[in-house]
Amino acid sequence: MHTKTIKQLSALLHAKQVSATELTQHYLQRAAASDLNAFLHIDPALSLAQAGAADARFAAASAGPLTGIPIAHKDIFVTEGWRSTAGSKMLANYVSPFNATVVERFGQAGMVTLGKLNCDEFAMGSSNQNSAFGAVLNPWDKLAVPGGSSGGSAAAIAARIAPAATATDTGGSIRQPASFCGVTGIKPTYGRVSRFGMIAFASSLDQGGPMAQTAEDCAMLLGEMVGFDERDSTSLTAAQGNVREDFTRDLAEPLAGLRIGVPKEYFGEGLASDVEAAVRAALEQFVKLGATLVDISLPKTSQSIPVYYIIAPAEASSNLSRFDGVRYGHRASEYKDLADMYKKSRAEGFGREVQRRIMVGTYVLCHGYYDAYYLKAQKIRRLIADDFQAALASCDVIMGPVAPTVAWDLGEKTDDPVSAYLADIYTLSTSLAGLPGMSIPCGFGQGDKNGQRPVGLQIIGNYFAEAKLLGIAHQYQQVTDWHTRAPAGV
C-alpha cells in the first residue's frame, strides 16, 4: 500500500477498499519502525482521531480528493497538538496553540497529520545535519546526507513512510533534498503559499511547498496550499494572481514546441560528470517528447551565493531576535541579570550554524556596513531577477541540475560551511528572484564511494507558471521510471 501514489490511494479510499483509519495505521507503523530519524514527533492518538473524522466524511459522501490521505509536516510549520521545534533546542518543548495556514488548509481538505518531520535548525542548512535532534539519514545510502533543510520531508517520501509531506524552500530547501533523495518537490512563486504559522528564517525568501512521489501528487497538494491569506503580510493577493487553481489542468498537455532554456552557467566548472550525464540524458528525453533546447545565459548566477548569504542572514538576525528566553523558548537555568539571561539562553538554545548566520546578519546590518553589503546585495538581487526575465523571453522554461554533485557523506562538510554553501549554486538565484522551481528524479550518480545516489533535474518557470512546470514534469514521468524507484528494503 505504501508504494502507491496519492492519486492511487485516493482512488482506493473512495472505492472503500481501505479506510482512512487503516491507511493511517499502516503509515504510523512504518514511521515507528524507521531508523532514519525523519520524524521528531508522532502522536498516534491525534492522527487516528483525524483519520476517524475522515472516515466520517466518506460515510457522509462529503469527501474530497485528499480526504483521508496521510501527510507529515516539516517541523517549521506550527501544529496544534504536536510539538513545533524548528529543529532547535530553543523550541524543544514548544506546542503551538494554533495551526499554520498550510496545516489548517490540509486539515480542511480532510488530510491526516502523521507527525512532524526533522529539519535543519530554523531551516538553516543544506544537509539536515544542523538539527538539534540529530541528522536525518538518506534512505538510499545511510552514510549520505538527505539534503536540507527539508531533509526529513524528502527522506520520509523516499522511504515511503509518508505519501505526502510539506516542506519549505528559502534557497533551495525543497529542490535540493528532493534531488538527493530521488523524490518530486516544487517551490511555488514567492507569496503564493501563506507564511502564517511558518517559523521564519528569511521573510523575503521563505516559501512553503509540497513533496511527493510524482508531479501529479504535487499538483494535487499544491492546489490546497495556494491562495491569499490576510494573516500573512507577504501573501500575494487574488488581484495579483494568487488564486486557488487546479494545478492538474496541464498534466495531459503534450510537449511539442516547448522551448527549454539551458543555462551555460549551470554546466561549467564544478558540475560533477555523473550529475551532468544524468541531466543531459533527461534533456534528450524531452527532445524526444517534442521539445527544443535553447542555449541561454544567466550571467549573475555566481553572484547569487554572496547575495543570498548577506540577505538571508540579515533577515534571520531580525527574525530570531524574538527568541530571548523571556516569553517562550529555552531559558538558561542560571544567570546574573537580564542581559546575562539573554546571552546564555541564546548561546545554549541556538546551534552553531544558526549562531553563525545571526552573527553575519547582525554585522551586515550594522551602521557603516548596511550600504556596503545589505543594500548592494538587494540591488544585485534585482539584477538576478532581470537575468531570468531576459532568458525567459527566448524560452518557456529553464532546466538544469539541482546541485553540482549527488548527496555527500555525513560529516563531510561539517567543518567547511562555505563548501556546503557552494552546493546551493543552482538553486539560490531562483529563490532570490521569487520564481517557481521544482526537482524531479532523473537518474543516479556514480561519483560517490558508497553506491548509487539520486540525481534531480531542476525545472524553473516564470511567475505563476506552476501548472506548466507540473505538466512538463508529469509528461517526463510518463515515459521514465526514476520517480517510481525506491531504496532497498522499501
d(CA 216, CA 69): 15
Write down the pTM of the prediction. 0.96
**Nearest-5° Cα angle at 122, 162 to 131:** 65
Edge to edge, the sheet with strand 259-263 lists: 39-41, 112-117, 70-74, 165-169, 207-212, 184-187, 437-445, 453-460, 397-401, 259-263, 292-296
With respect to residue 36, please indicate whether it lies within any of the assigned structural domains: yes
Residue 127, domain member (yes or no): yes
Residue 120 makes CB contacts below 8 A (sequence gap 6+) with 87, 126, 127, 128, 129, 130, 131, 148, 149, 151, 173, 353
Does residue 236 lie in a domain region? yes
DSSP 8-state secondary structure symbol assigned to residue 462: S
CA–CA separation, 240 vs 251, rounded Å?
Answer: 24
With a cut of 90, say whether residue 45 has pLDDT above it: yes
Give domain status of residue 276, yes or no: no
Domain contains 52: yes
The answer to the question of residue 342 being in a domain is no
Total structural domains in the chain? Answer: 1
Please, which residues bridge with residue 74 across strands? Answer: 117
Q: For 336-369, what is each residue's pLDDT tens digit? A: 999 999 999 999 999 999 999 999 999 999 988 9
One-letter amino acid of 147: G
Q: 450: pLDDT confidence band, cut at 50, 70 and 90?
A: low
Structural domain harbouring 142:
6-252
- Average pLDDT of the residues in 208-215: 98
Under DSSP, the state recorded for 293 is: E
Is it the case that residue 414 has pLDDT exceeding 80? yes
361 φ/ψ angles, rounded to the nearest 5 degrees: -65, -40
Cell of 262: 539551458
Whether 464 is in a domain gets the answer no
Residues tagged active-site: 74, 149, 173
**∠ CA 150-152-154 to the nearest 5 degrees?**
70
Query: Residue 218 maps to which CATH number?
Result: 3.90.1300.10
- β-pair partners for 210: 166
The answer to whether position 351 is within a domain reads: no
Strands 70-74 and 184-187, by their bridges, are unpaired
Give the pLDDT confidence of 227-248 residue by residue, as tens digits.
999 999 999 999 999 999 999 9
